Amino acid sequence: MPFSCLHDPADIARAQGALDSTWKRIKPIIDQQDHEREHARLVYIVAALAQVALDEDDLAERTWKRFWQK
């Protein structure tokens, strides 16, 4: 599990919130057949950035930017 590196419930909630908000932005603009793969990739991006972000909004914005850096 990508979020297994997070132990504090607040960090997990922040990561989940950032994931949800970023996915809502990304989902409508990618092909439907790519949804599962890209959502999984997004989860890993959130997990990787969770420790450096200031808050949920910062994490969502960093995730958004990293997602497009393919």
Give a yes or no: residue 54 inside a domain.
Answer: yes
DSSP assignment of 3-62 equals: GGG--SHHHHHHHHHHHHHHHHHHGGGS-GGGHHHHHHHHHHHHHHHTTT-SSHHHHHHH
Per-residue model confidence (pLDDT) at position 1: 58
> Is residue 3 assigned to a domain?
no
Q: Is the per-residue pLDDT at 70 higher than 80?
A: no
Give the pLDDT of residue 7.
80
Residue 17's pLDDT is 96
Residue count of the chain = 70
Each residue of 5-54: pLDDT tens digit?
778 888 889 999 999 999 999 999 999 999 999 999 999 999 999 989 99
Domain limits at 38?
Answer: 8-67
The predicted pLDDT at position 4 comes to: 75
pLDDT at 31: 97
Q: Is residue 1 part of a domain?
A: no
Q: How many structural domains compose the chain?
A: 1
Q: Is residue 38 part of a domain?
A: yes
